[in-house]
Amino acid sequence: MLTVSDLVVMVDNELKFGQQVDAVVLKTNCQLGLIKRSFTYLDEETLVLLYTSLVRPLLEYANVAWPVSFKKDTDKLERVQRRATCLLPHIRQLHYQDRLKMLNLPSLVYRRVRGDMIKVYKFVMVYILLTVIFW
């Protein structure tokens, strides 16, 4: 299968992004391992700060360009955030949704849908503005 990389986004000849998802998951899991090894004590605030600044940007880089259309790819990406929320031992036993609420983090699926809606809104507003100007 032929894979092409453009702006660090890998796509194969069937326009599937499975290899992109695998590469992103590998890179973000390495970052999570680095956080786990580097910090002996993590509280909620520190973990959220580290996760949102070091890991989540890698998960969301160019997500408009590579839509996740398969459930298995969505689950792989969400598993990274699930693993990140398990770094705190005192909330590890909670369900994933409860950990997200406790850390005030949205799921990656929600962030992706929200980002798509914002992008559509911007496109519509530009279209309306251009039709008003050139009408």
Q: Tell me the pLDDT tens digit for each residue of 46-59.
A: 999 999 999 999 99
Q: What angle do CA 66, 71, 75 make, to 5 degrees?
A: 90
- Residue 7, by phi and psi: left (phi above 0), alpha (psi -120 to 50) or beta? left
d(CA 49, CA 58): 14
Instruction: Give 60's pLDDT tier (boundaries 50, 70, 90).
Output: confident
Q: Fill in the DSSP letter of residue 92.
A: T
At residue 9, does pLDDT exceed 90? Answer: no
| Mean pLDDT taken over the chain | 88
Q: Using CA atoms, how far apart are residues 126 and 131, in angstroms rounded to an integer?
A: 9
**Percent with pLDDT over 90 in the chain:** 60
